[in-house]
Every structure is written in structure tokens, then in C-alpha cells.
Structure 1
Amino acid sequence: MQKLLESYGILVQENIKDTNVEINENTITICNTNINKIDLSILEQKQINEITIANCEIDYIYFANDNNVELFFIDCVFKSQITARRSNFHKKVSFEQCIFEKRIDFSRALFSNQVNFSLTKFECEARFIETKFSAKYTNQENIENNFREVVFKDKAFFDSVKFKARVSFEIARFESEARFVEAKFLAEYTSQENIENNFRETFFKGKVSFDSVEFKAKISFSIAQFESETSFSYTNFNHVVIFFHTNFKDSILFRNTSFFKNIIIFSEVKFNNIKFISDKKLNETNTNDIVDQIYHFQDTTFKGIVNFENMYIKDLNFKNVIFNNIVVFDNTTLNSKPKFINCTFSNQFNIKQEHIQYNFKDISKDSNDLTKLPNLENKNKNDDFTKPANLRDLFRKLKSNRIAHHNLIDASELRAQELYARELELKHQKDKTLKEKVEQWQLIFYRNLCDHHTDLVLNLKWLATTITVFLCLYFFSKYGLNFQHFINEYNNNSIIKYININFIYKFESYNGFIFIFYTYILIFMLWNVFRIFFSFAVILCCIINQPKLIFGIANLIGDNSYNAFENLLITLYTLIVGLIIFSLQKTARKNTIIPN
């Protein structure tokens, strides 16, 4: 039997049992023996089409330049180095549950048919550089390039490799460096259920490089674990990429990475340090492919620094995300405000205030139709974000983050936004208590008065308007339509004399002037653009003629006699102005106090 096998280019031990060998016309099967050498060129000369070797130890195997034999190695141990550079394999090749104890090299080899390395262990370096896996798609059940549960104990090189059909590294282990630089995964999309490029539950212990890689169809890194530095720079994901429950324990880099439909989704992923970087510049004549990208992070934890550098992002969404370290947006352009739902900010969140600043109209726009807070679920419209309760929680957390890092100016702005959301929350809440109703009206009052102590100019406008309204009401209550009495009382004043000569005399009667005067007051009090100018004009006249009126309650002290309406008017005016002045001083020193 030994001499017969030797004629086929197979050298075995002399004590091989006949029961361990089966030779048919075009096939050979060997099991449970030690093989010194296999020469595939001799097998081809003997017109052997298929060889199956199971549970054997093999010292040397020599491949021909063109191999037309179907190779099936099952549970075998290869003791010596294997070199098959530039070899062509035209039929199926299977190394299933085998062990390669020495270095293997299939660089620039061509596999024209299905390849199976499942459950195989590579004890030393494995090189598949510029290797072509050209098998065509067969059916849904078969994986044309199967590396399922493979273990690479040493470095694995798949640089510039080409996979024409589907490939699976599911549950594989890379215990040293793994390189897929300039690799091409060219499998066509088959169906929604299939994953054409499967790295599910893959373990990467060493450095990983997926730089300048092209993925033509779907790829999954679900439940994968990356222990060291990982890079996806200059990589093109031309279909869906799945990062679900993926764990990155070291830094990960996405530099000029392009995603399918410009959308990237990370769900239940754990990051250490992560960078999204673009080297491309946006100008008026050239819009790069980064502009329309959309990023979704859901149930994700960032343990280290998060850096979005020089990016152009259309939408950025975070849901149930924990930021345990610094977040930086360096020279990043956001076409819309990021959405944050139930996020936690533990360190500095360095984003421009304009990207997280909402006025009351922004917040209320999407919540006008809301009627009951517990039933606001509408996943298609991102209503989770526009819920007043969720927005209030976001603003509260961002405010606390700003306070913790001594940014009190931005914190006060976020405090105002928190109160906007609280107001809307109360607006849509049914069965409010008396305390909640009072709180709602209090929030409305302070929002319109001074934007919750953030708008000094608005506060000053209302102070001027309040004084003007009081003076006009006081003027009407005292003089009514008898404008002549007012002129006679203050005729010695240069301003009144000027008005009397240049305006009143031009009317045929005082009544005509009075009508025009009160109409003028009404128009200017309702017309917001000119209200402030009219208000300061009235106040100026009062200061020149009777400044005491401005001081409210002081008018009740002394020998002046007022009727009941004037007493009530002065008292209400004093209370309102006192409240406005209190708010004014608080607004004026907002940068020196910590928001509540």
C-alpha cells in the first residue's frame, strides 16, 4: 500500500493499515495516519480529481502552479511551513478543523472555487496578501469563502485580498495583528436576511487595520470585540454596516470613511477612544461626500475621548448614550442640531452652544399636537426627542455639565431651555394641581419678561413699556379729554409750549388733536417695532416734567390727593415695577451666579 501511495506522490509511514486508505479511479481517501509528503503535481498526472485526508499529521505538502484536484483536509495537523505563492486552485479547497503549526503563505494565489478554513488554527503567521478568492455565488446555504471560527495565533495578513463572493469570519479569533489594508469584499447584495461579509462575534486582540477597504454589500461586526487600536480609514461601506453590541477597548479611527447612503448606526456598542476625521475641505464649488452623512448612536458607551474633527454632518443622533470622557467637535459643521435622548454627560462636552440652543418656538413646534405625555411614542418622527420631559432632562444634564466645568454663561442659557421644556410639559399635562397651574403661569411670565433672566434688553423693554403704560393711564385718568387743562398746567415748560404751538394749533380743535394723540399711543403700543422708542419718549417727558411719577408708591406719600382709580393704579404699578426691577437686577448679574 505504501508503494502504491508513493506512486501517487504520497509518502506515508510503513505501518499504515489498508483500512485507512481507499483509492478509487479518480479519488483517494486517507485517514488516521502520518504522512511525510504530498505532491499535488504527481496526483494530477495520475488524473486524481479529489483527495480527502482526515485526522492525519502531514509533514510537507507541495502545491503545483495549477491545481485541479479537489482538496479536503479534515482534522489534520500540518507540521511544516506551507508556501503556495501564485498557485492557482481551480477546484474546491477545504482545510476544516486543521492546525497549521508553521507559517503559511498563500500570497497572490488564486482560489477559483469555494474555500473552507472553518475551525482551523494558524499557530504562526498566515499570509493571504493579494490573494484572489474568485468563487461565484452558489446558494444561500453555502459560504463561498468560509473562515468561520478560525484562530490566528500570530499575525494575519489579508492586504489587497479580493473576495468576489460572500465571506465569513464569524466567531474567528485574531490573537495578534490583523491587516485587511486595501482589501476588496466584492460580494453582491443577495437579500435582506443574508450578511455577505460576516465578522459577527469576531475577536481581535491585536492591532486591526481595515484601511482603504471596499465593502460592496452588507457587513456585520455584531458582538465583535476589538482589544487594540482599530482603523477604518479611507474605507468605503457601499451597503449597510452593522455595529451591534460591539466592544472597542482601545482607540478606533474613522478617517475619510464613507458609509452606505451616508448613514452609520452604532447600537449597543462600547468605545474607548474614537475619532471621526475628515481631511477633505468644503468649498463653494465642490461638496464632498461627508456633508450628507447621518450618525446614529443608540445604547452606546463612550469610555474615552470622542472626537469629531473637520466633519460635515447632516444629522447626529444619540439615544441612551453614556459619555464618560471628553467630547470634542473640532471644526465640525452640523447642518442640524444634534438630538440627545436619555444621555449622560460625565466630562466636558465641547460643542458650540449654537448647536444645542433652542428657543421656545423650536421646542414647542413639534409638541403643539401633544395631548398626553405618557402616550407620545412615534418612532417615525423622532418624537422621543421632542417630548418636553426628555428635552428638559437633556437641558438639565447639559446645564449641570456646563456648571461642573465653570461655564456659567452657557449654563444660564440651558437653564432657560430647561424651563421652556418644563412649561410645555405642564401645558400638555392634564389634571394639574393649583401649584402646577401657578408654576405654569409663572414660567410664561418670566419667559416673556426676561427669557428666564437671560435677556437684559427684553427686560429693559418691559420696564420701559410698563412705565409708559402707567404714565399714559395716569394721564388719561387725570386729564381725560381735557387736554387744555394739561397745557395750562404745564405751559411754562418748553417742551409743552413747543407741542402746543407746533402741533395743537394746527388742528381746528383740541378734540381733533386728542383723537390723533390717543390713536398714536394705541398704534405705537401695539406695534412692537416702535414701541420702545415711544416708551422712552414718554419717559423722557415725564422725567423733565414730573419725575416723581416714575417712583410709584412714593406718589402716595405726601400731600397729594388721588382718586380711587389713581391710588389703585399707582399701587399695582409699584408691585409690577418692583417685580420687573428685581428681575432686571438678577438678569444683569446672570454671569456671576450659578443657575438653579
Structure 2
Amino acid sequence: MKKLLIFFLCAGIISTASAQKEVSAKTIFDAIDKGQTVNYDGVTITGTLDLTELSNKKRIKQSKGYDEYKSTVEVPVSFKNCTFKDDFIAYKNNEDKRGDRNWSISMGDGETYTTDFEKSVVFENCIFEGKSEFKYSDFAEKASFAGTKFGKEANFKYADFKRESNFANCNFNEYANFKYSNFKYDADFYSVAFRDYADFKYANFNERVTFKGASFNQHADFKYAEFKDSGNFDNTKFKGGIDMKYSNGKKYMN
């Protein structure tokens, strides 16, 4: 009986420890919404984390049939060695459409929701198994996604990085969308694996950016990109071709 009791006690401890490794998206959302700093290491986040619905959400644009809303993450967020099982949403668009499978027309009605980050943002050595939507997001402080794996499309279109940004050793399994993104300070894409289309069309690199040792398995699009300081492409592999047409600035390739 004593051995059996010890077994169940140990099983209970193991079960509790395992449960503590899993955190709901709602728990994280509520903490951010209350202005609490978020810091997780080695946990699995379950459920869709939608940061476009914070209580500080404001309507910033309104026109006939269209509204735009902005939420702001006002606290530092840090996720290291974490897995996001579902979608991470800092951008979404609800457009009113009419029609059936064979015919559809946009009625011009819709709502766009975006999210800005006022403090530092860390997603290091994480895994995004679902979508990662950061379209139109402003990152006011340093943003680090170093070592992170993006299982589905990574959407940073029109994102504005106002401080240093780090994507070193990232793995983009699907479309990496940095079209029209703005990097005000140094940007690091060292040894990144782009397995699908990498879109940096119209991207603006105000200071140094490195793609040294990176690998582009599909097309690399830098058309119209601005390299105002320098772009390092030493030992970079372009397996699907590269388009630098109309790009400006200093670019170093070896």
C-alpha cells in the first residue's frame, strides 16, 4: 500500500509538472490586457492568441463601409523555446463578401485590425505551427525572432522595425512576406533558411542588413528594395533565383 501511495503521489507530481508546461492563449492575452509583463520559457501555447482585441483597441480610421482599429501591447513580451500550436494574430481583416463559390464580389465593407508593440519583443527559438500575422505592426523597441521556426506563412508586410531586429537562424517553411517592411536600424537575417518564396520587394533597410550564410530555396525578391547603408550577402545561396531589379544602395555578394 505504501509503495502504491508513493506511485500515485509521484504520478501526480509528474502530471502537475506536465500541465504547467502548457499555457492557454487566453491566459497570455489576459495578462497583456492587464498590463502585465509576459515572460515564458519552454512552454506550449494552445489556442489562437489574438492581440488585435485588447481593451485599449481604438478606431484610427473610418470611411464609408470601412473601419480600421489599432491595439497596442504596452508591456515587454518574451517567449523562449516556446511552441505556438495555433495562430498568432497581430493583424486580421474582415471583409464583407457576397456570392457563391463561382462568383464573389467585394462590397467595399470591412474592418482591419492591427497591433503595435511599445516595448521589447522576444520570440527566440520558438515554433509557430499556425499562422503568424504581424502585418502593419510597429515594433518600437528591439525585436528578436532569432532561431524561430515558422511553419506557415510569416506575414510581416508593412511592418515597421524602429530599433534593431534579429531573425538570425530562422526557418521559414512557407511564404516569408516582408514586402514594404521598414528596418530603421540594423537587421540580422544571418544563416536564415527560406524554404519558400522570400518577398522583400520594396523593403527599406536604413542601416546595415546581413543575409550572410542564408539559403533561399525558392525565388528571392528584392525588387525596389533600398539598401541605404549596406547589404551583406556573403556565402548566401540562391537556389531559385534572385531579383534585385531597381534596388538601390550597397550590396556585397561573394
Residues 295-340 of structure 1 show CA distances to partners (whole Å, capped at 9, x for unaligned) of: xxxxxxxxxxxxxxxxxxxxxxxxxxxxxxxxxxxxxxxxxxxxxx
Residues 125-183 of structure 1 show CA distances to partners (whole Å, capped at 9, x for unaligned) of: 11100011012xxxxxxxx1111111111111111000011110011000000001100
Which residue in the other structure is 1:255 paired with? 234
**Distance in 2 (alpha carbons) for counterparts of 1:83 and 1:71:** 12
- Distance change in 2, residues 1:225/1:81 (3 Å): same
Which residue in the other structure is 1:79 paired with? 35
- State the 1:101 CA deviation: 2.1
Asked whether 1:179 is paired with 2:166, we answer yes
Asked whether 1:93 is paired with 2:71, we answer no
Which residue in the other structure is 2:253 paired with? 276
**Distance in 1 (alpha carbons) for counterparts of 2:33 and 2:248:** 38
Using the size of structure 2 for normalisation, the TM-score is 0.72
Which residue in the other structure is 1:243 paired with? 222
The sequence identity of aligned pairs, in percent, is 24
Say whether the 8 Å CA contact 1:78–1:99 is kept in structure 2.
no
- State the 1:67 CA deviation: 2.6
Aligned partner letter, 1:127: V
Q: Which of 155, 159, 165 is 1:168 aligned to?
A: 155
Which residue in the other structure is 2:144 paired with? 157
Using the size of structure 1 for normalisation, the TM-score is 0.32
- State the 1:218 CA deviation: 0.4
Residues 227-276 of structure 1 show CA distances to partners (whole Å, capped at 9, x for unaligned) of: 01010000000001111211111111111000123x221122111x2211
Say whether the 8 Å CA contact 1:71–1:92 is kept in structure 2.
no
Aligned partner letter, 2:78: D
Q: Report the RMSD for the aligned CA atoms in angstroms.
A: 2.2
Q: Which of 87, 110, 118 is 1:123 aligned to?
A: 118
Say whether the 8 Å CA contact 1:245–1:269 is kept in structure 2.
yes
- Which 4+ stretches in 1 moved above 4 angstroms? 68-74
Which residue in the other structure is 1:233 paired with? 212
**Distance in 2 (alpha carbons) for counterparts of 1:71 and 1:146:** 20
- Distance change in 2, residues 1:72/1:158 (3 Å): closer
Which residue in the other structure is 1:197 paired with? 176
Alignment of 1:327-476 (within 5 A): none
**Distance in 2 (alpha carbons) for counterparts of 1:266 and 1:78:** 45
- State the 1:81 CA deviation: 1.6
Which residue in the other structure is 1:215 paired with? 194
Residues 187-213 of structure 1 show CA distances to partners (whole Å, capped at 9, x for unaligned) of: 2xxxxxxxx111011000010010000
Aligned partner letter, 2:123: F
**Distance in 2 (alpha carbons) for counterparts of 1:108 and 1:241:** 28
Aligned partner letter, 2:122: R
- Distance change in 2, residues 1:179/1:200 (3 Å): same
Q: Secondary structure at the match of 1:252?
A: strand
Which residue in the other structure is 1:146 paired with? 133
- State the 1:217 CA deviation: 0.3
Which residue in the other structure is 1:58 paired with? none
Asked whether 1:111 is paired with 2:84, we answer yes
- Distance change in 2, residues 1:265/1:161 (3 Å): same
Greater strand percent: which structure?
2
**Distance in 1 (alpha carbons) for counterparts of 2:158 and 2:128:** 20
Q: Secondary structure at the match of 2:51?
A: strand
**Distance in 2 (alpha carbons) for counterparts of 1:211 and 1:243:** 16
Structure 1: segments with no counterpart, 5+ residues: 1-63, 136-143, 188-195, 278-596
**Distance in 1 (alpha carbons) for counterparts of 2:160 and 2:43:** 26
- Distance change in 2, residues 1:249/1:159 (3 Å): same
**Distance in 1 (alpha carbons) for counterparts of 2:177 and 2:152:** 12
Say whether the 8 Å CA contact 1:155–1:177 is kept in structure 2.
yes
Q: Secondary structure at the match of 2:243?
A: strand
**Distance in 2 (alpha carbons) for counterparts of 1:237 and 1:92:** 30
Aligned partner letter, 1:128: F
- State the 1:100 CA deviation: 2.2
Say whether the 8 Å CA contact 1:77–1:98 is kept in structure 2.
no
Say whether the 8 Å CA contact 1:71–1:93 is kept in structure 2.
no
- State the 1:77 CA deviation: 5.2
**Distance in 2 (alpha carbons) for counterparts of 1:154 and 1:120:** 14
Residues 549-588 of structure 1 show CA distances to partners (whole Å, capped at 9, x for unaligned) of: xxxxxxxxxxxxxxxxxxxxxxxxxxxxxxxxxxxxxxxx
Say whether the 8 Å CA contact 1:243–1:267 is kept in structure 2.
yes
Aligned partner letter, 2:36: S
Residues 32-79 of structure 1 show CA distances to partners (whole Å, capped at 9, x for unaligned) of: xxxxxxxxxxxxxxxxxxxxxxxxxxxxxxxx53134567969x8553
Q: Which of 16, 22, 27 is 1:66 aligned to?
A: 22
**Distance in 1 (alpha carbons) for counterparts of 2:117 and 2:34:** 10
Say whether the 8 Å CA contact 2:157–2:178 is kept in structure 1.
yes
Q: Secondary structure at the match of 1:98?
A: strand
- Distance change in 2, residues 1:101/1:209 (3 Å): same
- Distance change in 2, residues 1:252/1:72 (3 Å): same
- Distance change in 2, residues 1:200/1:78 (3 Å): farther
Greater helix percent: which structure?
1
Say whether the 8 Å CA contact 1:153–1:174 is kept in structure 2.
yes
Q: Secondary structure at the match of 1:201?
A: coil
Q: Secondary structure at the match of 2:42?
A: coil
- Distance change in 2, residues 1:66/1:106 (3 Å): same
